[in-house]
Amino acid sequence: MSDSPTEPTILILDDDEDVRCIAEFMLNRLGFAVVPATRGTEAIERYQAALDAGIRFHAVILDSNIPGSMGGGEVLGRLKEIDPQVNAFISSGNPFDPLMVNPAAFGFRGAIAKPFVTENLRILLPPK
């Protein structure tokens, strides 16, 4: 399986369009391409489609709570079934969310607090 031929790509799951747009802007400035998803099932489908095309995401950022859809914890469980090596980060505006307090206990590599800060993204998502 090869990496994206152009630039490392981040899959971001968030139901808030403003959050997705700001994250995409910040990540683009850091040299990443972004694949957005608004629902848990969409994120899983996009991840699977990328793997099927021979593309590995540099990282996946999953919102903890998606009303009416699977949240980040459930999505990560499904992604790990597809790819046990998935590089996933949980994201939330609630610092007391159990997934944010101890992300490693739930299989995440780390936590990214909202609102996003470019420097935090740079530290957590170093380029390849």
For 80-89, the pLDDT digits (tens) are 999 999 999 9
DSSP SS3 for 90? strand
Look at residue 99 and give its three-state secondary structure: helix
DSSP state of 11: E
**Tens digits of residue pLDDT in 12-67:** 999 999 999 999 999 999 999 999 999 999 999 999 999 999 999 999 999 999 99
pTM over 0.85: yes
Homologous superfamily of 2-124: Response regulator (3.40.50.2300)
